[in-house]
Amino acid sequence: MLRAIKWESWQGKLAGYGLLSLVMLLLPVFGISVYYIHILIGVFIYIIMTASLRLVSLSGQISLGHAGFMCAGAYTSAVISKDLGWSPWLTIPLATLLSFILAYLVAIPFTRLRGLYFTMISLFFGMAVLAINEVFQKITGGQSGFVGIPTLFGYSKTPYYYFFFALLAVCLLVMYRIEHSRIGFTWKAIAQSHVIASSTGINENRQRILCFAIGGLFAGLAGATYAHYYVVISTTTFGFFTSIYIFVYMMVGGINSFNGPIVGTTVILLSQVFARSLKEYVPFILAGVLLVFLYLMPQGLTGLAERSRIWLNKLRSRGGEVSGKGISNGAA
Amino acid sequence: MALLEIEGLSKHFGGLVAVNEFSMRLEEGQIVGLIGPNGAGKTTIFNLITGVFRPDSGKVMFGGKNITGKSPHAIAALGVARTFQLTPLFADFTTLENVVASCYLYPRSGFWGTLFNTPKYRRNEAAAQAQSLDVLAQVGLKEVENELARNLSHGHQKMLGIARALAVCPRLLMLDEPLGGMNAEEIDFTMDIMQKLRKKGTSILVIEHNMQVLDICEQVVAINFGEKICDGCVADVRNNPEVIKAYLGV
């Protein structure tokens, strides 16, 4: 069976993911503090963001405006539910759908560009969303923020914890499935060579639009649910730095592994909690971390794990046949 | 009616005339050679036929349909497959994955069918994979099916390029220097494959510097500086003074 679309191997990984899920589900039962529940909810939301950014990168497109879709989703859901009085349970799917449509529409001109040029235009898109937000500040509240957003479960944090955990699990499952099916396989082919891909009948432009739009959908979903949990949102939450940060999370975790965004987001956000006194220096530190990772381990933490596993296998089977494959394959 | 008919095809890059008023015909079931010195415009003609470039003027007809200016994926869907001279493959995929990825036009189940892993999707994928293995067996790459394409030898990479093109089930196969850098044994093997494909009804348009390939061509088109200098059966072209002049520069 093919390595790149080996959906079946998921069953083998089920044990690992299941165990991790069980621990996460039991955490509130064993009484971790409300503060940590709050932190973990943030981690869940940002894992969705980072994983969807990585989904977009599968087709070779690095977006630096991903937080723009989070912003669109958050404000759409917040404004409709507060000003029109609709239930958040209705506005969240609506905002998700609208983010998808927005991403689809902007992708039509954007995907005409490739590589660095695509990244640049996506960066400007992220900024444009904020600027548009300012223009309509009568509705959105502008820089002073948008307050009084209806909640999903009142003000107790535990239901949110379970809600966001379930949301994260569903999102990751869908993204895993997309990546390990013909859809993701085609995207990976396009990332390697769009000329060859289109010579075999792949409508690469349409596939790249679809890829970008699905990424936008998950970002919009993360933003919409974010708004109903934090209750107050402002443009600073979805600014340029957010787009850059999730990019750093992705690179630290490892861009070639599905687990990369999970590992990267968790490690960085939790270490930020333990180094709260350094809060003002976060941009500098993360920039340094990004540099270190790009130079020393471009495959990220998950790549490191993979490498050490291969190394261990080599030690074990010393003298026998050694397989050195699989370190730097983009399709793993 | 000819399978491929090109009339008055021209392409300029700035002031450079890459292809000028180029015309040719390819009958169904033929192997046609496209020869000419470096920079003569052979690969540009390939790119114009397959839609990578848009011609400035002229017409490309394939199977009676006008395909001028269509996008590459639409032209591929009509049954035109090609190989590339340089990077001919998806370097980070294995040999088998390269071919399976190229089976894109194979029956598929749409977005939702794929997402929900329906039985139909699984059947389609299994069929695509079976066909890919078949193609790999045809071109003798079966033993390296799980190697990463980037680690293959040059000859194997060239062969994989052909296998990828065959996965599209083409009516017209366009090969851009398939013999370049191959050893004598590989050359014989590749020419053998080309002849077998012709027997099965696949037409082939081949760019080549290696004149050995002319032995299996029905027709040869020679170009220089973007213009056709001669067209006809192999013996005629070989003895054409213009061709000799273009190659020897006398």
Which positions in chain A touch B167 (Cβ < 8 Å)?
Answer: 200
Average pLDDT, chain B: 89
Q: Is residue B227 situated within a structural domain?
A: yes
d(CA B179, CA B154): 11
Domain boundaries along the sequence of chain A: 29-300
Which positions in chain A touch B89 (Cβ < 8 Å)?
Answer: 196
Q: Return the axis-axis angle of helices A182-192 and B95-102, rounded to nearest 10°.
A: 110
Our count of domains for chain B comes to: 2
CATH of the domain at B230: 3.40.50.300
pLDDT of residue B193: 93
Task: Test A201 with B89 for CB contact under 8 angstroms.
Answer: no
Question: Chain A residues within 8 A (CB-CB) of chain B?
Answer: 2-5, 7, 174, 177-178, 181-183, 185-186, 188-189, 192-193, 195-205, 210, 325, 329-331
Where do the H-state alpha helices sit in chain B?
42-49, 72-77, 95-102, 110-115, 119-138, 154-166, 184-199, 234-239, 241-248
Helix (H, G, I), strand (E, B) or coil at A167: helix
Residue A204 near residue B104, CB atoms below 8 Å = no
Residue of B71, B87, B94 lying closest to A193 (CB–CB):
B87
Query: How much is the ipTM here?
Result: 0.91
d(CA B214, CA B187): 13
Task: Identify residue B131 by its one-letter amino acid code.
Answer: Q
Range of the domain at B145: 90-167
pLDDT of residue B157: 92
Confidence of residue B2 (pLDDT cuts 50, 70, 90): confident
Closest-approach residue (CA) in chain A for B111: A183
d(CA A215, CA A58): 10
- Of the candidates A246, A292, A305, A327, the residue with the CA atom closest to the CA atom of residue A51: A246
* Statement to judge: residues B74 and B174 lie in one domain: yes
* Statement to judge: residues B15 and B65 lie in one domain: yes
Which positions in chain A touch B101 (Cβ < 8 Å)?
Answer: 185-186, 189, 197, 200
* Statement to judge: residues B63 and B108 lie in one domain: no
Which of the residues B67, B92, B96 would you substitute to probe the A interface, choosing the one with the greatest number of A C-beta atoms within 10 Å? B92
Task: Test B129 with A2 for CB contact under 8 angstroms.
Answer: yes
pLDDT per residue rounded down to tens, chain A (332 residues): 465 555 555 666 777 888 888 888 888 888 788 999 999 999 999 999 999 999 999 999 999 999 999 999 999 999 999 999 899 999 999 999 999 999 999 999 999 999 999 999 999 999 999 999 888 888 888 778 899 899 998 888 899 999 999 999 999 999 999 999 999 999 999 999 999 999 999 999 999 999 999 999 999 999 999 999 999 999 888 989 999 999 999 999 999 999 999 999 999 999 998 888 888 888 889 999 999 999 988 899 998 888 888 888 888 877 544 444 444 433 33
* Statement to judge: residues B39 and B12 lie in one domain: yes
Helix (H, G, I), strand (E, B) or coil at B174: strand
Say if residue A85 is exposed, middle or buried (CB neighbours under 10 Å; 0-12, 13-18, 19+): exposed
DSSP B1-36: --SEEEEEEEEEETTEEEEEEEEEEE-TT-EEEEE-
Write down which residue in B119, B147, B167 finishes a domain.
Answer: B167
Which positions in chain A touch B72 (Cβ < 8 Å)?
Answer: 195, 198-199
Which of the residues A8, A58, A182 would you substitute to probe the B interface, choosing the one with the greatest number of B C-beta atoms within 10 Å? A182
Determine how many CB atoms are found less than 10 A away from the CB of residue A288.
11
pLDDT of residue A220: 97
* Statement to judge: residues B155 and B200 lie in one domain: no
Determine how many CB atoms are found less than 10 A away from the CB of residue A216.
31
CATH fold of the domain at A29-300: ABC transporter involved in vitamin B12 uptake, BtuC (1.10.3470)
- Of the candidates B25, B40, B10, the residue with the CA atom closest to the CA atom of residue B209: B40
Q: Hunting for tokens 């011609």 — which residue is that?
A: B55
Confidence of residue B36 (pLDDT cuts 50, 70, 90): confident
Residue B162 near residue B168, CB atoms below 8 Å = no
pLDDT for residue B181 is more than 90 = no
Predicted TM-score (pTM) of this structure:
0.90
**Average of per-residue pLDDT across B232-244:** 82
* Statement to judge: residues B146 and B191 lie in one domain: no
Residue A152 near residue A229, CB atoms below 8 Å = yes
* Statement to judge: residues B180 and B241 lie in one domain: yes
pLDDT of residue A8: 54
To the nearest whole Å, the CA of A41 is away from the closest chain B CA by 27
Q: Is residue B85 situated within a structural domain?
A: no
Q: Which residue has the higher pLDDT, B50 or B209?
A: B50
Q: In what order do the strands lie in the sheet with B57-62?
A: B16-26, B4-13, B57-62, B65-66
* Statement to judge: residues B177 and B69 lie in one domain: yes
